[in-house]
Structure 1
Amino acid sequence: MGTKIVDMGGWTKDAAESLGGSEAGLKLILGQLAGYPLLLFYRKFLSDKDPKLQHVYFTLSGLFLGHWVIGPGVVHSIYAIIFTYLLLTIAGGTLLSVVVSFSFHLSYLLVGYWYNNTGDEYDISWTMPQCVLCLRLIGLTIDVYDGAQLKLNPDSLSKDQVKNCLTTNPDILEMLSHSFFIGGYFVGPQFSLRKFQEFASPAYHVALPSSPSRFGFKRLMIGVAYLAGHLIGNMFINEDWPNSENYTNSSLPVKLFCLLLWVKIILAKYISIWLMAEGVCVVSGLSYNGSYEDGSPCWTGCANVKLRRLESATRFGHYIEAFNINTNGWVATYVYKRLKFMNNRNISQITTLVFLALWHGWHPGYYLTFFNEFISMGFEAEWAKMWAKSKKVELWKLHPAYQTVTSIIGWVYVHFFLPHCFIPFPLKTASRIFAAYRSVYFVHFLFYLGWPVWGRPVKSYLLPPKAKSVEATKSESTPKSVETAKSEDLTKSK
């Protein structure tokens, strides 16, 4: 289980050292970029061929690149796929298959994390594509289960479930192809096997309204720009900066300002590789998602980041909508919405966030990151309710500058607290996280966890106590009629 990338030397090592990065990271980028010529070749020469030939091509190309990037550890992907195929053959479509698949794949991934744990640093190993495959194979098992439910009770499924369900078990070649498709093997995105089956057919490509290559290479160029921003920024503020003496010795204003730059530099790394992977899916045609209202084709079906929403976010809800959206969509479909029977949104949300933390690994930083997400979203939900009820806010909305001012304040709020919420994710261990937080006086905890205290005067200002009702006021101020007074006197005399 403890297979890791070894230092193989050669030109990739020299190139990585000259760029100031790791050989494993460079191989990941090059492996992802190799998807562009492979998928252009596919569209040109193989997209109109028999689906079985297409599946063979996707399987072999993905296996070859997977082995080049992560080494012999690619065999773990094969083990997981074969296990799932046998499980579906024996018990596909049953609740038992879902429970076993969920337990096996998550446990296998967690054991892999344990054996590959090298301390504070993140190593690119077989667990990286395995975490993507974990969700893909669990989702596949659930889709087969939904297909069985569709036959028994069609009205029991939601639109998403009907869209993704499989009424027959896939064969092993389809599963290998779906798993090793180079557009989604290393870092995602997630896409259902049903969608992939449609994609690997000549009719699908004949129906495409135009060539997707232009849009695909546009996403690639944006990804390269983000990667360049990450590499240049990393020269000045590296990922481990909040754990350095320079950070500790800096003044509080410098820390707070540089943290804004630090988090952007780190996130650029994730955004760049997602954009590169998305571009591969676009070039292949897999990302076709219908047409816009004006009739132009939509190629965003495999998007994992919404750049405009991300960079202009005015609340953390926007960031969650725009960042790693395929994983968030998978979790919403296969975990959160399946917990409706609990009739408690908070329990469903907490369970979903715990699953996401487990899926990332054992480090305390992952769990604290998702705890930060929970408290920030809880605060924003309460704030939104209060803001919507305020009569003062209704008057403010009439001012022409309202939208501009609130957008600026919201943008500053998100980008001020974003690094504080994200610090645990790259630092990982409790001692490093505590030291970084202590140095900035746990400012985001004071803000979010202190909301019940500092929020009281804010609520009193925006939602002043309600005045007495008009009816009650009238009844107190209106004198009694003569008949009423006589009636009361008569009652008293009796």
Structure 2
Amino acid sequence: LYSCLFPYPGYPFALFQRYFLFQKEVYLIHLFNTLTGLSIAYFNFGMQFTHSLLCILIQFLILRLMGRTVTAVLTTFCFQVTYLMAGYYFTATENYDIKWTMPHCVLTLKLIGLAIDYYDGGKDLEVLTDEQKQFAVRGVPTLLEVSGFSYFYGAFMVGPQFSMTDYQKLARGEKTDVPGQRPNSLVPAVKRLILGLFFLVTYALLSPYVSDEYLISDAYLEQPFWFRCFYILIWGKVILYKYVTCWLVTEGVCILVGLGYNGQDMSGKPKWDACANMKIWLFETTPFFTGTIASFNINTNAWMARYFFKRLKFLGNKLLSQALTLFFLAVWHGLHSGYLVCFQMEFLIVIVERQVMDLMQDAPVLRAWASITILKPLYYVLQQAIHWMFMGYSLVPFCLFAWDKWVKVYTSIYFVGHILFLTLFLTLPYIRRALVPRKEKLKKAE
């Protein structure tokens, strides 16, 4: 819960910037964001705030000395990732600790993204995709600008990720639904804050009854198999609420200051989801693993897609690009074995889920059973139970970190997730061959 309290200083800071710095000289906004971000870093980590300061200074020098080159991008990636890995190595414990590496992993992505966008800014528009044109940095950022971008108080501790171009628009007073005036963002910001507080209270009330400690206790191991599986289902759902809380509260800060403005929808109403890390309705209602992934930590996933997955297009293999992206995502979280196991499991589950969905669509027998109206509520409940059981199963190593802890839990439930999904992965092609008529296969191929 302590980590959930970090974003709250952002609201008075955002109110001050909104009412006293809107459309003022941009250097004042950069200075304000730098000083407030540094104060948050110093308050939480003491002199360890110098780690972020050093990486930002070196990043500025890389941009200035190496320019818009592939060398600058590769140097940035190697230096920033190596520095983060070294931080993980020298501060690692077997528990989840609030230490300087927590905001530094957010900063690492932000600075790598800046280097890539700066590199794109030196290319001709004809060779850039529409997305790259949107985020390419054309000018040469100053040290104060890079510092303000990096230390922005609304996203320094836990995100969300945003681009330098969006930050520059914020500093110029362009992130508003009413040009020349302060954004009408008070109500949308308060709504996200209230929603975040709701999940905070929910987590505070439920977490004492579904703790990590109980998972590795003898009392848990003495329970029957069905109870151990059901406990993981509930635990996995509740444990994610602390992340949901942080992201909703920080999103409110970004909306309040204007950074969350994302243009207008088809009806002309302003959208405030540019910094949204959660799609709450989808998160709570989807029965699919892919749906949960699409609703959770949205900006980090978008960053991975934009700056890593799509940049691996030269490999010519989408599955390999996905695997490498998930590997980088795992290592970015930390050096514990649990992160690798978690994302490996996620990769396997998503592949199997897509195969099952295709099979349900292509196999006439399964399609007929799935279309029976009276059985749809039963299907939904069953899907949700499977979905959250194995979502919790994947989160066990992510949250317990150490090899001896997560292996103990997996052993207690006989590695049921690995056995089930590996079996499905190996047998689904044969099941498909038996259930899908040849004409359906030909139609799919066309």
TM-score by length of 1: 0.85
Looking at structure 2, the residues matched to 413 and 209 of structure 1 have their Cα atoms a distance apart, in angstroms, of 47
In the other structure, the counterpart of 1:362 is: 335
Looking at structure 2, the residues matched to 432 and 114 of structure 1 have their Cα atoms a distance apart, in angstroms, of 19
In the other structure, the counterpart of 1:148 is: 122
1:368-411, CA deviations, whole angstroms, 9 ceiling, x for partnerless residues?
00100110011012222222222234444654447545433332
Looking at structure 2, the residues matched to 344 and 424 of structure 1 have their Cα atoms a distance apart, in angstroms, of 28
In the other structure, the counterpart of 1:126 is: 100
CA contact (8 A) 1:35 1:280 kept: yes
Q: Identity across aligned pairs (percent)?
A: 34
Quick check: 1:191 aligned with 2:166? no
In the other structure, the counterpart of 2:281 is: 308
Quick check: 1:180 aligned with 2:155? no
1:330 to 279, 288, 303: 303
TM-score by length of 2: 0.94
Gaps of 5+ in 2: none
In the other structure, the counterpart of 1:480 is: none
CA contact (8 A) 2:352 2:425 kept: no
1:98-119, CA deviations, whole angstroms, 9 ceiling, x for partnerless residues?
000000000000000011112x
1:147-193, CA deviations, whole angstroms, 9 ceiling, x for partnerless residues?
1123xxx2221111110001222111111101111111000000000
CA contact (8 A) 1:313 1:410 kept: no
Equivalences for residues 50-199 of structure 1 within 5 A: 50-118=25-93, 120-150=94-124, 154-199=125-170
1:293-346, CA deviations, whole angstroms, 9 ceiling, x for partnerless residues?
222211111011111111112211111111111110000000000111111011
Looking at structure 2, the residues matched to 329 and 203 of structure 1 have their Cα atoms a distance apart, in angstroms, of 23
CA contact (8 A) 2:333 2:339 kept: yes
Looking at structure 2, the residues matched to 435 and 71 of structure 1 have their Cα atoms a distance apart, in angstroms, of 37
Q: Which SS does the other structure have where 2:159 is aligned?
A: coil
CA contact (8 A) 1:315 1:413 kept: no
Q: Quote how far apart the aligned CAs of 1:463 are.
A: 2.0
Structure 2 counterpart of 1:40, one-letter code: L
Q: Quote how far apart the aligned CAs of 1:239 are.
A: 2.3
The change in CA–CA distance for 1:393 and 1:217 in structure 2 (over 3 A counts) is same
Looking at structure 2, the residues matched to 265 and 449 of structure 1 have their Cα atoms a distance apart, in angstroms, of 27
1:237-280, CA deviations, whole angstroms, 9 ceiling, x for partnerless residues?
21232211221111111111111221122111111111111111
CA contact (8 A) 1:92 1:169 kept: no
Q: Highest CA radius of gyration, 1 or 2?
A: 1
The change in CA–CA distance for 1:111 and 1:292 in structure 2 (over 3 A counts) is same
In the other structure, the counterpart of 1:349 is: 322
The change in CA–CA distance for 1:234 and 1:397 in structure 2 (over 3 A counts) is closer
Structure 1 counterpart of 2:247, one-letter code: W
Structure 1's consecutive aligned runs of 4 or more residues displaced over 6 angstroms after TM superposition are none
The change in CA–CA distance for 1:195 and 1:453 in structure 2 (over 3 A counts) is closer
Equivalences for residues 451-462 of structure 1 within 5 A: 451-452=424-425, 455=428, 458-459=431-432, 462=435
Equivalences for residues 230-379 of structure 1 within 5 A: 230-379=203-352
Looking at structure 1, the residues matched to 357 and 218 of structure 2 have their Cα atoms a distance apart, in angstroms, of 40
CA contact (8 A) 1:147 1:167 kept: yes
Quick check: 1:226 aligned with 2:203? no
1:40-86, CA deviations, whole angstroms, 9 ceiling, x for partnerless residues?
12111111211111111111111112211222111111101100100
2:19 to 44, 54, 73: 44
Q: Quote how far apart the aligned CAs of 1:458 are.
A: 4.4
Report the aligned-residue RMSD.
2.0
Q: Quote how far apart the aligned CAs of 1:444 are.
A: 0.6
The change in CA–CA distance for 1:456 and 1:87 in structure 2 (over 3 A counts) is closer
Q: Which SS does the other structure have where 1:186 is aligned?
A: coil
Structure 2 counterpart of 1:355, one-letter code: F
Structure 2 counterpart of 1:187, one-letter code: V
Equivalences for residues 372-411 of structure 1 within 5 A: 372-396=345-369, 399-401=372-374, 404-411=377-384
In the other structure, the counterpart of 1:440 is: 413
Quick check: 1:217 aligned with 2:228? no
Larger RCO (CA within 8 A; separation ≥ 6): 2
The change in CA–CA distance for 1:204 and 1:322 in structure 2 (over 3 A counts) is closer
Q: Quote how far apart the aligned CAs of 1:466 are.
A: 6.6
Structure 2 counterpart of 1:173, one-letter code: L
